[in-house]
Amino acid sequence: MDLTQYLDTTAETVDKVISRHFGNVYGDLFQAGAHLLLAGGKRLRPAVVLLAADAVKKNSADDVMLAAIALELTHTFTLVHDDIMDADAVRRGVPTVHTLWDEPTAILAGDVLYAKAFEFLTMTEASDRAKVHAVRMLGKTCAEICDGQSMDISFERRGDVTEPEYLEMVQKKTGVLYGAAAAIGGLLAGANPIQIDALYQWGINSGIAFQIQDDLIDLLASTEATGKDRASDIREGKKTLIAIRAREKGIDLAPYQRELTADEIDEVIALLGDAGVLDEVRAAAVERATTAKRALAILPESEERQLLTDITDYFIERGY
Amino acid sequence: MDLTQYLDTTAETVDKVISRHFGNVYGDLFQAGAHLLLAGGKRLRPAVVLLAADAVKKNSADDVMLAAIALELTHTFTLVHDDIMDADAVRRGVPTVHTLWDEPTAILAGDVLYAKAFEFLTMTEASDRAKVHAVRMLGKTCAEICDGQSMDISFERRGDVTEPEYLEMVQKKTGVLYGAAAAIGGLLAGANPIQIDALYQWGINSGIAFQIQDDLIDLLASTEATGKDRASDIREGKKTLIAIRAREKGIDLAPYQRELTADEIDEVIALLGDAGVLDEVRAAAVERATTAKRALAILPESEERQLLTDITDYFIERGY
């Protein structure tokens, strides 16, 4: 099976399970909690949980389905809370929870999803020992994600963000949840500590590669392809790896922190391209992806291991 | 040991453990998370965890100390988020997290405490099976607490709140966490399902009794004793059991939804007293307390079982 097929099939199954558990919830609060969860999405983190389990032990994906849902619940809770902080009005093509309901409801809706994530993790088919390990890992991961979001917000007020700081933020905000998804899928299926660590490293590095590619897409991809404004990061002065490398090369992006015409965006792209920034940033994403894929080598060869590798490639090859 | 002595000693120990884990955290976010946690408090929920464990199995309190901390972390996370929603500026004698930092930081600080609660629960000394059970119960409890807070907020906009609705709200907002504290303490110490349920029922009913007594205290206790404005619930039109019973008796409290003089407050008290409302509400608290204490009968006699009973009595006898 190729990756697109696999992800489509899995997303359909995950959607069904989510709909079964959250499609008919009662009361305003639980409907608010289910809102974004039911709005779809690529369900990448559940797919990673399922693939990691199968890569460790054939045919164990079904057993860890509720853990896969737990990871999607966790992801969704962070989105609901982030949308409040970032005052974002639209997510996954639907109005955000705090705009459709209100801010208190959105805080509580995120908190409910958070609770459900841990509840679902305990309901999965696995040894109690593995479940306790998984809960501890998810707890640690959630605290790190919060730290990543906090760093991201604090970067807005700073002009001197360094590359290590950026990488730490991205690792926490995006990497660790992919790391936890892979490691939890694996450990619930009976992975040994070395395999668990390899899966975690795969996830962290894939997640970082994903985020770096996201920064490139924001600048380079057309609005038609992404559905977002082109170069919004530059306009908002976001501290991306592109911005940090540009600063190191003495390129001043401050004049571009305003509404930009298509020609002006092309001008910035040319400026960054000529200075080698874009190639360097692309290389950084490729390097992370390589590290991620290399980590998987200790797992036995399997279709699922290959699909994990394909996910990493997809993260850095996607154009939007 | 009498209850006051026990609670003081336990609070001291709990404070020490909290200080060891959260006294020297690094970074703005984790300091914001630790802020309210380090501000003290009566540490009643940890005490319940420890007592329930000892009541089930002698000398097991030390083993479940980190679970006791987990319950305090849970309670504190709900306070941090509630303070944002209720726009409260002071809590436990210190400025609230969102006033000292800002709202995004307070949302994230609450989320970090939430994560730590589950992490600490897995770190306690108990069988993996018991820990998984405890995690599931805490997850379920957190979702219910959110629902309780959501109901409480929605009641503000309604004039027709019924007594069953009030009791459901209070059970979720206050009762279930006491229920979970007792049940988790017991199950980690090896309680059987009947004991676990008894402890849970004790906690729920004690928590409801606590809240009803809180409503009475708001009206009857002096500002000097409570540190709060007298009759603030009446002034704000809160849907307490007092207000609901008054409405049933045709007493209109609407004219008192404004600044009140001491004489006017005494007038309301006389009005409610003469109509029998205060006696009825007091009786409701006593009834819940009786149900709570009766549930404990299936546990073997012990000093700790007695202290749990004393906690229930304290909940309805306290004057502030």
Q: What is the mean pLDDT of each run of 10 residues along chain A (320 residues)?
A: 95 97 93 94 97 98 98 97 92 91 96 98 98 98 97 92 97 98 98 98 98 94 76 92 96 93 94 96 98 98 98 92
- Helix A65-85 and helix A28-37, axial crossing angle in degrees, nearest 10: 100
Residues of chain A found within 8 Å of residue B142, distances taken between Cβ atoms: 111-112, 114-115
CA distance readout (Å), B238 to A307, B153, B160, B165: 57, 10, 12, 13
Residues of chain A found within 8 Å of residue B131, distances taken between Cβ atoms: 128, 132, 135
Candidates B70, B80, B146; CA nearest to B115 is: B70
Q: How confident is the model at residue B260 (pLDDT cuts 50, 70, 90)?
A: very high
The residue with greater pLDDT, A146 or B156, is: A146
Least CB–CB distance from B104: residue in A85, A127, A138: A85
Task: Tell me what the pLDDT averaged over chain B comes to.
Answer: 95
Q: Does residue B223 register a pLDDT over 80?
A: no
Q: Does residue B228 register a pLDDT over 80?
A: no
CATH architecture entry for B3-317 = Orthogonal Bundle (1.10)
Q: In this structure, what token pair is assigned to residue B311?
A: 């906690």
CA distance readout (Å), A313 to A157, A206, A309, A310, A316: 34, 9, 6, 5, 5
pLDDT of residue B93: 85
Q: How confident is the model at residue B92 (pLDDT cuts 50, 70, 90)?
A: confident
Q: How far apart are CA A145 and CA A78, in angstroms?
A: 8
Candidates A292, A284, A287, A283; CA nearest to A310 is: A292
Sequence-ordered list of residues with C-beta below 8 angstroms from that of A53, at least 6 positions apart, any chain:
A60, A61, A63, A64, A185, A186, A188, A189
Residues of chain A found within 8 Å of residue B129, distances taken between Cβ atoms: 128
Least CB–CB distance from A118: residue in B112, B118, B153: B118
Q: How far apart are CA A246 and CA A244, in angstroms?
A: 5
Its ipTM equals 0.94
pLDDT of residue A52: 98
Q: Does residue B166 register a pLDDT over 80?
A: yes
- Give, for B95, the enclosing helix (H) or strand (E): strand B94-95
Of A132-136, A223-227, B48-52, B209-213, give the lowest mean pLDDT range: A223-227
User: Residue B55: exposed, middle, or buried by beta-carbon count in 10 A (0-12, 13-18, 19+)?
Assistant: buried
Sequence-ordered list of residues with C-beta below 8 angstroms from that of A38, at least 6 positions apart, any chain:
A18, A19, A22, A23
Residues of chain B found within 8 Å of residue A107, distances taken between Cβ atoms: 81, 84-85, 107
- Give, for B134, the enclosing helix (H) or strand (E): helix B128-155
Query: What are the residue ranges spanned by the domains of chain B?
Result: 3-317
- DSSP bridge partners of B128: none
Average pLDDT over residues B26-51: 95
What is the tally of helices (H) and strands (E) in chain A? 16, 2
pLDDT of residue A230: 85
Residue type, B171: Q
pLDDT of residue B320: 77
pLDDT of residue B1: 80
Candidates A289, A294, A302, A309; CA nearest to A56 is: A302
Q: How confident is the model at residue B247 (pLDDT cuts 50, 70, 90)?
A: very high
Q: How far apart are CA A233 and CA A241, in angstroms?
A: 11
- Decide: B136 and A122 in contact? Cβ < 8 Å: yes
pLDDT of residue B138: 98
Q: How far apart are CA A49 and CA A98, in angstroms?
A: 29
Interface of B with A (CB under 8 A): 27-30, 81, 84-85, 103-105, 107-108, 110-112, 114-119, 121-123, 127-129, 131-133, 135-136, 138-143, 146-147, 149-150, 153-154
Average pLDDT over residues B142-158: 95
